[in-house]
Amino acid sequence: MEPNDMSAGTIKAIDKHSVHQICSGQVVLTLATAVKELVENSIDAGATNIDVRLKDCGADLVEVSDNGKGVEEANFEGLTLKHHTSKLREFTDLIHVETFGFRGEALSSLCALSVVTCHESCQVGTKLVFDHNGHLVQRSPHPRQQGTTVSLQQLFYTLPVRHKEFQRNIKKEYGKMIHILQSYCIISTGVRITCSNQNGQGKRSTVLSTSSSQSIRDNIGAIFGPKQLQSLLPFQQASPTENVIEEYCLSGADLPKQLFLITGFVSRGDHGVGRSATDRQFFFINNRPCDPVKVIKLVNEVYHMYNRHQYPFVALNISVASECVDVNVTPDKRQIFLQEEKLLLAVLKSSLISIFSVGLHHLTQCRITDSEPKNLRKPGWLQSRLCKSTLLQLREEIECDESIQHYRTDVEDEIFGDSTSHSHPEGAESQTEQRPFDEDFSLIPDTKRARTEKQHFIIKPEPKDYSNNLDKSSLGVDSPVCLQRRKVPLQFSLQELAAKMKRLQDQQAHRAKEDLCYRRFKAKINPGENQSAEAELKKEISKEMFKDMEIIGQFNLGFIIAKLESDIFIIDQHATDEKYNFEMLQQHTVLQGQKLIAPQKLHLTAVSENTLIDNIDIFRKNGFEFQVDEDAQAMERVKLLSLPTSKNWTFGPADIEELIFMLSDSPGVMCRPSRVRQMFASRACRKSVMIGTALSVNEMKKLLVHMGEIEHPWNCPHGRPTMRHLINLDIIS
């Protein structure tokens, strides 16, 4: 081994600069995490007014100002050093920690940054500048009221790959940051939080704002508007029911009393009240925003029991003793471990079912008048009649069985004489078993078993002549039968047999391997294998191959049989044409809008308004027209002017919200609301080639060529497969 290789394999300590860069990259991953850490520091400092200011959606500048206690001069040096904090002194303090931060990693991971702070004991503020290693490089007096301002420029600038990805997805990062900030706005009662953004040299616009209210309900109204409040129900905690306790394998006697206290709000279970996505679901444990996966799944599952096509608005705070929670799980502290998690799920499920069930199960009562008493029967008349008929049927079957048994005994006596009687023990003449009468036994006989027993006997119309027709030679059952066997020697070798079996197995394995070499399509035409069949088609069939397929013919006036090299395919002519027509409607149809009498307020959040304004051309293609007032305050900048209409289809604000949610994930990409998609699917179905239509070769070829011109040719809009592989001709030959 070379000396250089030896040195490369030696275990050495990583230098402090590299350690700092590695660890910092694990704490602050996104814009949302950076803003979250700064806002948490402000709340921990006792601030009642927090202002988040962004420039270019956070790509250029992130600045958080508060009116908290400020930073003492003695803490200036350790403010951004790794693992320096004022929240903990030893590990045992972590059990009872109530602040958002406690690890001393946030500001250290956000370097380089500048801090302007003024402690409550100081008259003049101080501006602090830190380098990328967290070291204080400059300090100077700066006028400021009590509190702290942290400015962060060019986030991820020292990480080129992450910085480039961050700049490319800045709109998506911005939306995630706003969603995280909304959770702190909801839970932080008594704290006024505002967020504003400035794009380039344009005007600064307010994104969201709360008014330091003392209730969560008022905070929700300030963020999402009064319309959202109208659809909410207060969460009312209920004890777990017996069925739920059994479902979660809990013991009712061992359940702790009032371990969890759940408060908050959830959407009503009525259809149309919920949302098209899970974009407004907020969960807190001891006022700390988090993502409890099992709780989120349970809430949505219970809601779908009452409104299966939508998702609820949720804002739930779960209060529990601090020693029952572990928040030190992930760097962003969003994942939390809980003791007695099953009990929490049981309480949640019982409470949600109780909330959603109110008002959903009222039955109208109908009275039956006595105008026609002759047509009414006494209670139980049907059961009495059934019992009588079944008893008569049972009696007939028993009599039939007795006659069969009596007839069989007579025949046996005539054939075998007294010899058969010696084979039975004494008292075996009567095979009837006496059983005590059970009042609770079913009056309906087991007719299936009775029929099975009767099938063992053959009833002749003249049983007395049966013995006379017997052949006397059949009575010689006692005559001995002599069997003679001849032994023939056989040449046998176990080794030769084993070798022959091995050759056969090798041949079969080789043949199977050869089959697999050219069998590119292995999935069967079965609904259970649709996914694998579609994956095979995507892998093996390109768009250019459709025009090269050879038409063999039409099968059953509904399917096209085509050949590509040695593979035979079956194509659903209706599903194929339907998918082509659907995608053409999706791409080229511009829906016409219907003007409203007066502009309608939408009460969108500031983030939703920005998404709508940035993608307003896509909304126009979907038939929506808006009036945008840039100078208006947040949630009032956009008004609806016209809605798309098409024959019997009407659309509304719910479709706008769904479109906004889709565009927040894929900005600038042409998309349609689900109801518009349903309308296009219905139209495409009606205008497509129907099953039962005879097609010429040219018409069939045209359908195949169309399959190569669309994006997703494997399924129709309703999910029916368009094409499947039938067989490979090489296997047959």
- 472 burial (CB, 10 Å; 0-12 / 13-18 / 19+) is exposed
- The secondary element (H helix, E strand) that includes residue 550 is strand 550-555
**What's the pLDDT score for residue 641?**
92
**Residue 532 burial (10 A CB sphere; 0-12, 13-18, 19+):** middle
| Banded model confidence at residue 64, pLDDT cuts 50, 70, 90 | very high
pLDDT tens, position by position, 209-252? 898 899 999 999 989 888 889 899 999 999 888 899 888 888 76
Q: Between residues 3 and 147, which one has the greater pLDDT?
A: 147
Structural domain boundaries in the chain: 17-200, 231-357, 523-733
Q: What is the mean pLDDT of residues 691-698?
A: 93
What pLDDT is recorded for position 429? Answer: 40
Specify the pLDDT at position 557: 92
What is the arithmetic mean of pLDDT over 24-38? 79
- Residue range 330-340: mean pLDDT, rounded: 80
Tell me the Ramachandran region of residue 159: left when phi exceeds 0, alpha when psi lies from -120 to 50, beta otherwise: beta
User: Span 17-200: which CATH code?
Assistant: 3.30.565.10
Q: What is the reported pLDDT for 373? A: 45
Architecture of domain 523-733: 2-Layer Sandwich (3.30)
pLDDT at 1: 47
Which pLDDT does position 372 carry in this prediction? 44
The share of the chain scoring above pLDDT 90, in percent, equals 24
> What pTM, to 2 d.p., does this model score?
0.63
27-56 mean pLDDT: 88
Question: How far is residue 101 CA from its own chain's centroid?
Answer: 32
Predicted confidence (pLDDT) per residue in 367-409, tens digit: 444 444 444 444 444 444 444 444 445 455 545 444 444 444 4
- Tell me what the pLDDT averaged over the chain comes to: 77
pLDDT of residue 448: 42
The arithmetic mean of pLDDT across residues 572-578, rounded, is 94
Tokens, residue 89: 């002194």
Task: List the one residue out of 184, 208, 214, 183 whose CA is nearest residue 194.
Answer: 208
Tokens of 114: 């500048």
Q: CA 719, CA 715: separation in Å to the nearest integer?
A: 5
CA-nearest of 655, 651, 588 to 621 is 588
**Structure confidence by residue, pLDDT tens digits, 629-657:** 877 777 788 999 998 887 778 888 888 98
What class has domain 231-357? alpha beta
pLDDT in tens, 587-597: 888 788 889 99
Q: Given this model, what pLDDT does residue 468 score?
A: 46
pLDDT of residue 360: 58
- CB within 8 Å of 663: residues ≥ 6 apart: 611, 614, 615, 618, 669, 671
- List Cβ neighbours of 42 (8 Å cut-off, separation of 6 or more): 50, 64, 66, 68, 148
pLDDT of residue 76: 77
Give the separation between CA 716 and CA 573, rounded to whole angstroms.
11
**pLDDT(363) > 50:** no
pLDDT at 646: 78
Which candidate, 25, 101, 87, 83, places its Cα nearest to that of 328? 101
| β-bridge partners, 64 | 52, 150
Sign, CA torsion 129/135/140/143: positive
Our measurement of the distance from residue 573's CA atom to the centroid of its chain's CA atoms, rounded to an integer in Å, reads 33
User: Of 286 and 485, which is predicted with more confidence?
Assistant: 286
